[in-house]
Amino acid sequence: MLILARKTNEKIMIGDQIEIAIIDIKGDQVKIGINAPKEIKVYRQEVYRAIQQENIEASKAKPEILPQLDSMIPKRKKENP
């Protein structure tokens, strides 16, 4: 882990495309701004872990439930030519 000391309005670059700026420091709270390309997803760690857990749970779905799920999806009406 790289540990850096920064002051308000100072920045950190990660590669050529990700910029992290220190926006504000009040007590034990630091506000940061992250500027990254849209294709790079940025999450708070607790949100990222929750997404991972949901993905794990979804991967455990049993194939035999698929017909039941299919019956819950409304069928589209076919248009007459």
Mean pLDDT, range 25-43, rounded to an integer: 96
Q: In angstroms, rounded to a whole number, what is the distance separating the alpha carbons of residues 45 and 18?
A: 17
Q: What is the pLDDT of residue 2?
A: 92
- Structural domain containing residue 49: 11-68
> Is residue 80 included in any domain, yes or no?
no
Query: Rounded CA gap, 44 and 16, in Å?
Result: 22
Tell me how many domains the chain contains.
1
Q: What are 21's two structure tokens?
A: 């700026």
Residue 30 placed within a domain? yes
Instruction: Report the first-to-last Cα separation within the chain, whole angstroms.
Output: 63
pTM for the full model?
A: 0.64
Residue 49 maps to a domain: yes
pLDDT at 62: 73
Q: What pLDDT score does 3 carry? A: 95
Q: Residue 54 — φ and ψ, nearest 5°?
A: -65, -40
Average pLDDT over residues 5-34: 96
Rounded CA-CA distance 81/77 in Å is 13
74 part of a folded domain: no
Per the domain annotation, does 19 fall within a domain?
yes
